[in-house]
Amino acid sequence: MASQHFDTLQVHAGQAPDPTTNSRAVPIYATTSYTFNDAAHGADLFALKKFGNIYSRIMNPTCDVFEKRIAALEGGVAALAVSSGQSAQFLAISTIAEAGDNIVSTSFLYGGTYNQFKISFARMGIEVKFIVGDDPKDFEAQINEKTKAIYVETMGNPRFNVPDFSGLKAICTKHKIPLIVDNTFGCGGAVCQPIKHGADIVVESATKWIGGHGTTVGGVIVDAGTFDWSSGRFPSFTMPSPGYHGLVFWDAFGPTGVMGANVAFIIRARVEGLRDLGMCQNPFGAFMLLQGAETLSLRVERHCSNALALAEYLQAHPQVEWVSYPGLKSHAYHQKALQYFHTERMGCVLCFGVKGGLEAGQLFINSVKLASHLANVGDAKTLVIHPASTTHEQLTEDEQKAAGITKDMIRVSVGIEHISDIKADFEQALQLTKGQLFHNYLITSVYGHYSGYQNGTVDCFTDPDLLDTGPADSYDIFNLDSGFLDSDCFGIYSLDFQFESCNTNYNLCELYSVDHFLGG
């Protein structure tokens, strides 16, 4: 089945019609435990001499189908379903590292990952060395005898940097450590398959595009089956396991073991990690995630085409300061995306900044109607959020900068709605941000014009006491709905305003016309 196309695997991999009931759909096995054939059978299962179902914390037939399907989509030999993406990365790293060890990670991470690495792993005695930048040499410089892995995201969330997979893999091979890739933004293989580019372990949040509808939390770990755990750098794989009467995982489940493939990592993550930590997926969740997986490539194709169209629209919009999306030819990582991603799928998420800074960005988020403001990505619906005050809020200012977060950044998980409706929603919200520019300035002078000639200062707006009353919108001379409001204190055809910036200690700035703020 591995030779079949992605679109076929997402529907069929890991399952055949149920032999007992002839059910074509995957059944939900809502059971906690399973009967043993006899006493010897039960003993063999617990000793890992045979494989089969024991308890649903460790394995479940519905979860098994999901695991096999994602392994096929990612190009791995085996997978493990867990309760969330956070659980996936935690279990993957804790399976290979212990107190006194370290991993070398990019700093361009999802905020939850950054905090888990910085806080929770530190409490366990596992150090995470964060690298600001993409140069593989910077990663290599931090490797020592206690380093257990290099960790990156397929696309930094939300910086959208694309790693140099080839360069990182070469360093990992040199130092005999695995390359771990969070492929959440690679959409379960529909955008990127990191194993093809050298990843030894893939982790991802199945909550996002795999599930695809914002209904189910889940995570998955995929074992590429390519890493040699016998180098001596990972004694937990080559030394007798005290929990299994001296069983050596590399001998039993390595390339020459009973499974016929190198599954030592994923087996150990299952039978020790899930056994002791318990972050298992439940059969109902696995069933829901399977429903999403069946349409994964179809949805991702629409997500990506919409994302590119929206990015191009925003890039040309006068109210937008900047846009970040790897599918844009102007993007710093566009060539890397072409190298490693599906040629017509450059990602489903973009970021942009609204002119007017933080306040204008907040007004935009509060003004969208079709898009939803919430902390998720990968939903069929378009979602927006302000990372600096939400997903990355717990990071310090320096840590936010290292993660690629700016105060004006808005992250958009582009949905599968009609692109014209998405654009229309963004357009009406962006129009409302025009007047927000006034919030950053105080009026110092107003000049009247007759037929383009300056007619002198309008006295009623130059009273020093008046200038101290607040931002420009408090003067009641501008209204978003009706535009410029005329006043009896002058009889003129147009006005120019001279502003002083509130953010630069009132340093004088240039003369702006009304049309500048009306988009003219």
Structure token pair of residue 294: 């069946």
Distances (CA, A) of 18 to 195, 284, 315: 31, 17, 51
- 384: phi > 0 → left, psi -120 to 50 → alpha, else beta; which? beta
pLDDT at 80 over 50: yes
DSSP character string of 101-152:
-EEEEES---HHHHHIIIIIHHHTT-EEEEE-S--HHHHHTT--TTEEEEEE
Interval 176-224: pLDDT, tens: 999 999 999 999 999 999 999 999 999 999 999 999 999 999 999 999 9
Read off the tokens for 372. Answer: 């939803």
Residues 136, 171 contacting (CB under 8 angstroms): yes
Q: What is the DSSP string of 390-409?
A: TTTTTS-HHHHHHTT--TTE
Relative to beta strand 179-182, strand 147-153 is parallel
Average pLDDT over the chain, rounded to an integer? 86
Query: Can you read off the two tokens belonging to residue 137?
Result: 């040499």
Report the alpha-carbon distance of residue 38 to residue 51 in Å, rounded. Answer: 15
pLDDT score of 95 more than 90: yes
Element (H, E) at 445: strand 441-450
pLDDT tens digit sequence for 479-517: 333 333 333 333 333 334 433 333 333 233 333 333 343
Name the nearest CA neighbour of 344 among 393, 302, 394.
Answer: 302
- CATH 3.40.640.10 describes domain 9-293: yes
Q: Among 39, 19, 18, which residue's Cα sits nearest to residue 27?
A: 18
How confident is the model over 448-466, as a mean pLDDT? Answer: 36
Contact (CB, 8 A) for 327 and 314:
no
Please state the rounded mean pLDDT for residues 113-119: 95
Q: What is the pLDDT of residues 276-327, one digit of tens each?
A: 999 999 999 999 999 999 999 999 999 999 999 999 999 999 999 999 999 9
Q: How many CB atoms lie within 10 A of CB 29?
A: 18
Q: Would you state the pLDDT for residue 358?
A: 83
pLDDT of 97 > 90? The answer is yes
Alpha carbon distance 370, 390 (integer Å): 20
The predicted pLDDT at position 480 comes to 32
Please report the pLDDT score of residue 77 as a whole number. 98
Helices (H), 281-418: 283-293, 296-315, 334-340, 357-367, 397-402
User: Which has the minimum average pLDDT: 28-42, 93-107, 439-453?
Assistant: 439-453
Q: How far is CA 28 from CA 18, 61, 80, 287, in A?
A: 11, 8, 17, 7
CA 8 to chain centre: 26
Structure tokens at 496: 């120019």
Domain covering 296-432: architecture: Alpha-Beta Complex (3.90)
Where do the structural domains in the chain lie, given as residue ranges? 9-293, 296-432, 436-518
| Cβ-Cβ contacts under 8 Å for 274 (sequence gap 6 or more) | 57, 58, 80, 82, 91, 280
Calpha distance 408→427 (Å, rounded): 18
Q: How confident is the model at residue 357 (pLDDT cuts 50, 70, 90)?
A: confident
pLDDT higher than threshold 60 for residue 422: yes
pLDDT greater at residue 172 or residue 401: 172
- Phi-psi sector, 209: left (phi>0), alpha (psi -120 to 50), beta: alpha
Please check whether the two domains, 9-293 and 296-432, share a CATH topology. Answer: no
